[in-house]
Structure 1
Amino acid sequence: MSVGCKWAEKNPILHEYHNLEWGHPIIDSIELFERLCLQCVAAGGFKGRENKKTKEFDIDAAQLSVIEARGLYREKFHNFDPREMCKLTADDIDSIVESEMERESDSDSSFKGLSKNKQKLKALINNAKAFIKMEENGEDFSKFCWSFTNDKMILGGTNLIDIPKFASELSSELKKKGFTYTTPSVCYAFMQSVGIINDHSIDCPLRNECIEEAQIFGKQ
C-alpha cells in the first residue's frame, strides 16, 4: 500500500509499522500499556513540522530503534504484562543492560537493541506498579487513556490547538498516579500510536481506515 505519511517511506520496517499499527485505535489495556512503555523508552519519537494548513511528522532515531527492538523488549519485560514486570528488580535491569552491552560489542550488526538507559528501563517497572495500583483501585487503563478526548478519536490537522492540551492533561494525570517518563511529548507520541489522535496525513489512505476502525469501536 502506498502511504501519504512521508516518514513511513524511509524503510520497510517503518512502512509496515505505519500500515499495520500506527494510528489504528487500540482499546485493550495491556496493549495500551505496552505502547506507553515503548514511548517512555523512546522519550519522544515524532517531530512535528507545522505550517498554516497541515502538520507533517518525521521520525527520530530513538523511535526507530524502539520499533526495531520491540521483540527484545517484549522478551525482557514479559510481554509487558504489568504483574510480571513488577517482579523485575534493579539488579535485573543492571543485568539486562550489561548483556546488551556485551551483545553489541560482539556484533557487527547495525542493530542497536535495547536502550542502555537504566533509569528509563527502571521506569517501566515503576509504571507497571502504577498500572496495577490503578487496577486495584477499580480504574480501567483503557477508559482512562481515552477519557482525555471524551472517548473519541481526534483527527490531527483539524484541531491542532487542542492536541497539545490533550497530551499535557494525560501527562499530568499519569504523573499524579505515579507514572514516570511520561512527559507531554511522550504522551503525544503515545496518543498518535494508539489512534487516540489520528495524525495520518490528509492524503494518507490509512487516515480513513483508522477512522472506520474507530467507528467500529465506538470511538468516532
Structure 2
Amino acid sequence: MGERCGWAGPEQIYLDYHDTEWGVPDYDSRALWEKLILDGFQAGLSWITILKKREGFRQAFQGFDPNVIAEWGEAEVTRLLADPGIIRHRGKIEATITNARAWQRIEAQQGFSTFLWDYVGGTPIQNRWSSMSQVPASTEISAQISKDLKKAGFKFCGPTIVYAFMQAVGMVNDHLIGCPCHEPVARLSRQ
C-alpha cells in the first residue's frame, strides 16, 4: 500500500477527511454549496483550521441551509461575528448570505449540482499525478466555473478556491497514483 497524499495529516481529523471524504464524488446540491462556502472561508488560512471548526460552522449557519441563510441580514452577521466557533470575517459572512441567494437562483433554474457537474460532463476527471508538484492550483475549468459563479452573484470563488472545491467534491480525482485512496475514488466515478 502506498503513502497518502502529502498534504494529509498528521492530525487524525485531517487523515480521516483525506481517507473518507476528499475526492469522493458528491452530487447533493446543498452539500456542494456547503463545501464551496467552506472553501471560501478557507482562503488565506489552512484547511485544518476549517476542518476543526466545521461543526461550529454547521451550527452557526443552521446546517448550511441556503434557503434559511438567504433570508438573513445584519442581525445574523452581527451574531456570527461574535461566534468563536467560526472564522469571524465580515466579508466572508456577508458573502455567504449573498451566495445563498445566488444558490437559490441556480437551484431553481437547473439545480446547483447539475450546474456544477455539467462542466465535467457529469463524470469526475481522473488525474494521474505521481507527485504533489504536478497538481495544479487551478485549471481552465476551475477558471470558467469561477467566472460563471461570479456572473451568477457568488463571491469568494476564485479559480484556486474553485479548484480546491472540485478536488474536495470529487469533480476531479487528485489523489496521487501512489495513494491508497486513488483507485477506490476512481472506482466510485465508474459506478
Same fold flag (TM > 0.5): yes
RMSD: 2.0
Q: Kindly indicate whether residue 150 of structure 2 is the aligned counterpart of residue 179 of structure 1.
A: no
Equivalent residue number for residue 57 of structure 2: 73
Deviation at 1:160, TM superposition (A): 6.5
SS at match of 1:173: helix
Residues 1:121 and 2:125 are matched in the alignment: no
In structure 1, the residue corresponding to 2:118 is in which secondary structure? Answer: helix
1:36 aligns with 2:36: yes
Distance 2:167 2:135 in 1: 13
Q: Which 10-residue stretch deviates more, 91-100 or 16-25?
A: 91-100
Residue deviations 1:36-95 (CA, integer Å, cap 9, x gap):
010011126xxxxxxxxxxxxxxxx43111111110111111111110111222221222
Per the TM alignment, residue 97 of structure 1 is displaced from its structure 2 partner at its CA by 1.4
Query: Unaligned regions of 5+ residues in structure 2, if any?
Result: none
Identity %: 31
1:15 correspondence with 2:18: no
The alpha-carbon distance between structure 1 residues 126 and 148, as it changes in their structure 2 partners (threshold 3 A), is same
1:12-52 CA-to-partner distances (Å, cap 9, x unmatched) read 110000011000110111111111010011126xxxxxxxx
Q: Which runs of 4+ in 1 moved over 3 A?
A: 157-161
Contact persistence 2:106–2:115 (CA under 8 A): no
Give the number of equivalent residue pairs: 186
Equivalent in the alignment of 2:70: 86
SS at match of 1:36: helix
- 1:133-162 alpha-carbon deviations (Å, 9 max, x no partner): 1123x211111111112222112346968x
* 1:191-220 Cα distance to aligned partner (Å, 9 max, x none): 00000011101101111111111112xxxx
1:7 partner SS = coil
- Secondary structure at 2:142 match in 1: helix
Larger radius of gyration: 1
Q: Is the 8 A contact 2:135 2:174 kept in 1?
A: no
Normalising by structure 2, we get a TM-score of 0.90
Q: Which runs of 5+ in 1 are unaligned?
A: 45-60, 101-112
Choose between structure 1 and 2: higher strand proportion.
1
Could you say which residue in structure 2 is the equivalent of 1:143? 114
Contact preservation (8 Å) 2:40, 2:156: yes
